[in-house]
């Protein structure tokens, strides 16, 4: 009867994805049915850890994160957890033999978010590795069904894509990160939060180069995951174009969004390209 419980847990992770990110949820729906629940499991785990450091301000976040971390490793070792999100996560991690070092690096980045940091280039790269690149690698292990040779071949591209996504998130959420959380992730930024035109353009160019490299790897993915990842890539490239149209002051004052109707257009165009094999 454990199958009944596991099914409930995967549904819980799916619900977390749908509640917190309509864009990511749409991308996962474009994946093959065989791997959707596993990707939802990764997202649910990542989202819960992120919630601890980003929103639970009236609670002891350090203790909550430490307990979450301890419960994560217990779930992985035992092969079960009474926390539905951790139960589905451990099932997917153990199923595909996802490297625990990736989990270590992710949780370390969450610990970095507990207190304000004056980011330098090394700590900036360390944070992006743990908060985004390793999450992409967890998903990649699922996309290639645990095939280690394919994983190693596509690993550099997945890391570039994760890095690009995270840097866009930094720009999209620039206002909230600065005003509500007191965070400035980009190194060398004025403490007032002012992002110079030169810095903004440099970051945007950096993201575009990472996208260009990542696309090479996206096209090499199995058909079961190629379309879903491509849809997410297109959402974020559209978001990048919109960010480029904003001034630094606008980023400091408002969150950049893509309307739902625009997301639907991106999905439809991507589907057409996929059907005629011109991704």
pLDDT digit string (tens) for 22-32? 888 888 988 99
Q: What's the topology of domain 2-267?
A: Farnesyl Diphosphate Synthase (1.10.600)
How high is the pLDDT of residue 276? 55
Phi/psi of residue 72, nearest 5 degrees? -60, -50
**Average pLDDT, stretch 34-39?**
97
Residue 41 has pLDDT above 70, yes or no: yes
Count the Cβ atoms, other than its own, within 10 Å of residue 175: 16
Token reading at 179: 């005003």
**Domain map (residue ranges) of the chain:** 2-267
Q: Is the separation of the CB atoms in 214 and 157 below 8 Å?
A: yes
What does the pLDDT look like over 176-212, one tens digit per residue?
998 899 898 999 887 777 888 899 999 999 999 999 9
pLDDT in tens, 81-136: 999 999 999 999 999 999 999 999 999 999 999 998 889 999 999 999 999 999 99
Looking at the predicted structure, is the pLDDT value of residue 46 above 60?
yes
Q: pLDDT tens, 157-183?
A: 999 999 999 999 999 999 999 889 989
Tokens 């969450």 — which residue?
110
Is 218's pLDDT higher than 90?
Answer: yes
Q: What angle do CA 189, 174, 22 make, to 5 degrees?
A: 150
List the structure tokens of 206.
């950096």
Mean pLDDT of the chain: 92
Q: What percent of the chain has pLDDT over 90?
A: 77
| pLDDT the model gives residue 272 | 65
CA dist 164 and 211 (Å) reads: 6
Q: Quote the pLDDT of residue 112.
A: 97
The four Cα atoms 138, 142, 146, 150 give a dihedral, to 10 degrees, of: -80
Reported as a pLDDT band with limits 50, 70 and 90, residue 15 is: very high
pLDDT of amino acid 277:
63
């Amino acid at each position: 009867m454990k199958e009944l419980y596991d099914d409930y847990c995967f549904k819980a992770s799916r619900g977390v994805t749908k509640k917190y990110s309509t864009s990511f949820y749409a991308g996962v729906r474009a994946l093959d049915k065989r791997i959707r629940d596993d990707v939802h499991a990764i997202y649910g785990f990542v989202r819960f850890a992120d919630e601890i450091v980003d929103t639970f301000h009236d609670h002891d976040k350090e203790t909550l994160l430490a307990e979450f971390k301890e419960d994560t490793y217990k779930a992985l070792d035992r092969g079960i957890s009474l926390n539905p999100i951790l139960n589905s996560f451990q099932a997917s991690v153990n199923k595909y033999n996802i490297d625990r070092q990736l989990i270590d690096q992710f949780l370390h980045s969450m610990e970095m978010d507990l207190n304000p940091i004056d980011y330098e280039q090394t700590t900036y790269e360390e944070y992006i590795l743990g908060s985004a690149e390793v999450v992409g690698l967890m998903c990649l292990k699922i996309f290639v069904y645990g095939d280690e040779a394919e994983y190693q071949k596509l690993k550099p591209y997945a890391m570039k894509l994760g890095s690009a996504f995270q840097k866009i998130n930094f720009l999209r959420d620039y206002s909230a990160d600065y005003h509500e959380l007191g965070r400035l992730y980009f190194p060398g930024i004025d403490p007032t939060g002012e992002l110079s035109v030169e810095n903004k353009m440099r970051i945007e160019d950096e993201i575009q180069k990472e996208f260009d490299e990542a696309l090479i790897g996206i096209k090499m993915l199995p058909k079961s995951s190629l379309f879903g990842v491509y849809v997410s890539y297109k959402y974020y490239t559209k978001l990048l174009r919109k960010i480029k149209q904003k001034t630094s002051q606008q980023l400091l004052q408002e969150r950049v969004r893509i309307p739902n109707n625009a997301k639907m257009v991106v999905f439809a165009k991507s589907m057409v390209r996929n059907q005629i094999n011109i991704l």
